[in-house]
Structure 1
């Protein structure tokens, strides 16, 4: 019975039904099988295969501003911040816009009026060397600084529209020259230093060092102590000079000095010994200058001196006098 059931299921799978007859007894001869033809049945339709799963895809968003869009419209770009015009100028004096207009020598620096979060010195947002510059800045609060040599002025501005700033620099100029009698001192041989007196100390604070003569030194209004040095030794002149706003103070400092040339010779007018070491002293023994050579030259202030010449292990001396404007040779004779 089990075999018949298996055969029937196989016939259903192929679409045909084949009857299974019982097996005859072994004692009887096998009879010819009778095949019963059946009308073919419709084949069994198998269910269509399920579609393979697809990877999820992102839906393309609708165009910006399209109807039915679920996304908010993108914001329009903000317009660039408007820049404002700032014009700068300065004059010499105490009242802005009055006095001598400055057309050169100015340096402008613009600082943002906000503290630096790192604590470092704020850097200027703009720096210009023009006398009357015009620049464009964002609206805000700024510090405008103008430097004129050693003088300066500053003003705080709130820039909300195109503006013009005029600063008054309370300063003047100082021009120092040098001379020996009526003869001007060459600029290469003279230097000028300027000091601000502090209390009783005339050289309390130095503001200018080793400036050449004839150059206009721009300084704030006030009284200054000026030191002029002629040469590299002790020919020095001092003077107190006043600087007034809007004016140039000119002064000629007359030195009382001369140039001397030192020589060690065997006889007057003889040839100088090369490699001689010279020392120039005051009568009190203070060393003024030391030189090595055959005939070194130096500028000395008017007065009395002693020269010591050392050569070949021997020492030779001579006293001499310097008179203002009388340049001369000073010969030291080799002692026997």
Structure 2
């Protein structure tokens, strides 16, 4: 039994030793083969999402020619989760083009106080769209009779009526004569102030889509030059303080100087002049369109 088993055991031991040596030193005896490394297959990188051009234009609601000036465009990413979107592009061109990646967007255009909004989805292909803006424009001026008032002497305030209040909501103040005020379609209340006193006129004006409403507000007023003199036609005293009052005693305007000018609505007034501690008064009347000097004679008390 021992003679039969020994050669096998010796052979097994020798074989195991050689195998161990081959595993430990695969290149030493030339009998071992290293295990092949496994490498993941390589693929070309995925192409980036293709950007495409969005071209937009604006039209007045209804029938009208494209709006060409006064436009402000913005493009927002449309997240759809209620969070505030980011502006991704903007332009003031009449018909801008935006290069955008695929996805949903919100496009807005502002035309003065009017605006429009539209949602678009880019899918890697060029897209054209038109936004319709419900807007027109208002251009204001003033006159006394047939004579135009210089723009520098006029100021307008524009309101949206709310209920029975014609001046319910202020749209804009300090509008100058000749300015083009772009507004949504609707009816507006306009207050025109001539000069810096009480020469005021009001009117309700309608703005229509795609049209410019030109309106002239007619004032019944005049500009008077205030003077304190020693005698009619004499030189005015410098440094005189003037107060213009209504017959009921309400102060309309105050001014200081030798001959300040005041624009007043048609009507009756009382003029008070103060100089060197003395007070002088005079009643006078303003007639529309009749600019003139109002002299207070400094009679000794």
TM-score range, shorter chain: 0.7 to 0.9
Q: Does 1:316 align with 2:280?
A: yes
Q: Does 1:140 align with 2:140?
A: no
Q: CA shift at 1:215, angstroms?
A: 2.1
Question: TM-score, structure 2 length as denominator?
Answer: 0.83
State the 4+ residue runs in structure 1 displaced beyond 4 angstroms. 68-78
Q: CA shift at 1:167, angstroms?
A: 0.9
1:26 is matched with which residue?
A: none
Q: CA shift at 1:100, angstroms?
A: 2.1
Kindly indicate whether the alpha-carbon contact (under 8 Å) linking 1:116 and 1:122 is maintained by their aligned counterparts in 2: no
Q: CA shift at 1:115, angstroms?
A: 6.3
- Gapped regions of structure 1 (runs ≥ 5): 1-67
Kindly indicate whether the alpha-carbon contact (under 8 Å) linking 1:112 and 1:125 is maintained by their aligned counterparts in 2: yes
3-state SS of paired residue (1:309): strand
**Deviation readout 1:153-189 (Å, 9 max, x if unpaired):** 1111122232111011111111111111111111111
Taking the aligned partners of 1:123 and 1:237, their CA distance within structure 2 comes to: 45
**Deviation readout 1:53-99 (Å, 9 max, x if unpaired):** xxxxxxxxxxxxxxx666657775544331111000011124xxx42
Q: Does 1:285 align with 2:249?
A: yes
3-state SS of paired residue (1:125): strand
Question: Of 89, 93, 98, which aligns to 1:126?
Answer: 89
Q: Does 1:159 align with 2:127?
A: no
Kindly indicate whether the alpha-carbon contact (under 8 Å) linking 2:78 and 2:85 is maintained by their aligned counterparts in 1: no
**Deviation readout 1:132-171 (Å, 9 max, x if unpaired):** 0111011111111111111111111122232111011111
Report the number of matched residues. Answer: 264
Taking the aligned partners of 2:127 and 2:194, their CA distance within structure 1 comes to: 50
1:31 is matched with which residue?
A: none
Taking the aligned partners of 2:172 and 2:276, their CA distance within structure 1 comes to: 44
Question: TM-score, structure 1 length as denominator?
Answer: 0.74
2:8 is matched with which residue?
A: none
Question: Of 216, 224, 231, which aligns to 2:195?
Answer: 231
Kindly indicate whether the alpha-carbon contact (under 8 Å) linking 1:93 and 1:100 is maintained by their aligned counterparts in 2: no
Taking the aligned partners of 1:310 and 1:77, their CA distance within structure 2 comes to: 90
Kindly indicate whether the alpha-carbon contact (under 8 Å) linking 2:145 and 2:289 is maintained by their aligned counterparts in 1: yes
Q: Structure 2 vs 1, CA of residues 236 and 138 (structure 1 numbering), >3 Å: closer, same or farther?
A: same
2:67 is matched with which residue?
A: 102
Comparing 74-83 with 168-177, greater Cα deviation is found at 74-83
Taking the aligned partners of 2:282 and 2:80, their CA distance within structure 1 comes to: 68
3-state SS of paired residue (1:188): helix
Structure number with greater Rg is 1
1:88 is matched with which residue?
A: 56
